[in-house]
Amino acid sequence: MHDFSTPMFLGHRGLPSKYRENTLASFKAAIDSKADGIELDIHITKDNKLAVIHDHSTKRTTGIDEVVEELTMDELRAIDKEIPTLEEVFELFKDKIIYDIELKEKPFVFSKLPNIALEVIKRYKLEDNVMISSFNPFPLRAFKKVCKNIPTAIIYDAVPSVPRIMQHGEGKLICSPNFLKPGINVAKQQLKASKKPISVWCVDTKKEAEEFIALGAKVIISNTVDEIRL
């Protein structure tokens, strides 16, 4: 794992400012732009594969409204051939980069996602290259039960999509994460108040990156990592 003696820069879903998010082309572009690694999202499919896609539905990215978890990987690929599996991402970069893997699980749904994610990480011997994160503290807690040595991070921000009672990192009380991962709306306050290392997401200008790093941020996650890499 990165030693954090210098801040780490990750491409948020790759380089979505120039390529389709969460695709192999987007991830490769981020790494070609000298990012230290990538942030990506995984869902468990009906046939227990790990699909790299952000939303629970395919509607925003394809125009076809299907629930990811209700389809097999082949059915997903029939809708969008560019959706990779986690294995395909690992095959592309192996141990050359850092991966921030976000577990996408709906509230109060307890699936095999944490266990299967760990199995794939171990199969590729990438325990030292991975961080596991989620807005949902319950899959993080489940992951920590089966793996103690891979760091975890709770994600949050003061935005409507996050329940009000979770907007300032309250999920940490449920999952005891190693990192906090606030969005830019609450990151400054969290950097000043928290003793845990901080990873800030959606930092898309050099000015913001410099400011958060000066406040002690250990990880900067950006949609424009090619433009802000210091």
- SS3 call for 190: helix
Backbone angles phi, psi at 116, to 5 degrees: -70, -40
Tens-place pLDDT, residues 19-71: 999 999 999 999 999 999 999 999 999 999 999 999 999 999 999 999 999 99
Q: Residue 3: inside a domain, yes or no?
A: no
CA distance 69 to 170: 27
Band of the pLDDT at 106, cuts 50, 70, 90?
confident
Residue 182 pLDDT? 97
H/E segment holding residue 179: strand 179-182
pLDDT over 90 (residue 230): no
Q: Note whether 120 and 90 are within 8 A (CB).
A: yes
Tens-place pLDDT, residues 170-192: 999 999 999 999 999 999 999 99
Band of the pLDDT at 226, cuts 50, 70, 90?
very high
Angle at the Cα of 167 from the Cα atoms of 12 and 197, rounded to 5 degrees: 60
Query: Beta strand pairing status for 50-52 and 199-201?
Result: unpaired
> Domain span at residue 171?
8-228
Q: Which tokens is 80 given?
A: 């969008």
pLDDT over 80 (residue 4): no
Identify the bridge partners of residue 57 per DSSP, sorted by sequence position: 67
Residue 8 pLDDT? 96
In Å, how far are 70, 96, 111, 170 from 132, measured between CA atoms? 23, 17, 16, 17
Mean pLDDT of 89-113: 94
Mean pLDDT, the chain, as a whole number? 96
Q: State the Cα torsion 209-141-113-88 to the nearest 10°.
A: 40
Q: Residue 32: inside a domain, yes or no?
A: yes
DSSP character string of 95-153: GGSEEEEEE---TT---SHHHHHHHHHHHTT-GGGEEEEESSHHHHHHHHHH-SSS-EE
pLDDT over 70 (residue 218): yes
Half-sphere exposure (Cβ direction) of 50: Cα atoms closer than 13 Å: 22
pTM comes to 0.96
Q: Residue 93: inside a domain, yes or no?
A: yes
Alpha-carbon Rg for the chain in angstroms: 16
CA distance 19 to 152: 27
Domain count for the chain: 1
What is the domain-level CATH number for residue 24? 3.20.20.190
Mean pLDDT of 193-215: 96
Residue 150 pLDDT? 97
pLDDT over 80 (residue 108): no
pLDDT over 80 (residue 2): no
Residue 27 pLDDT? 98
H/E segment holding residue 79: helix 73-79
Tens-place pLDDT, residues 113-157: 999 999 999 999 999 999 999 999 999 999 999 999 999 999 999
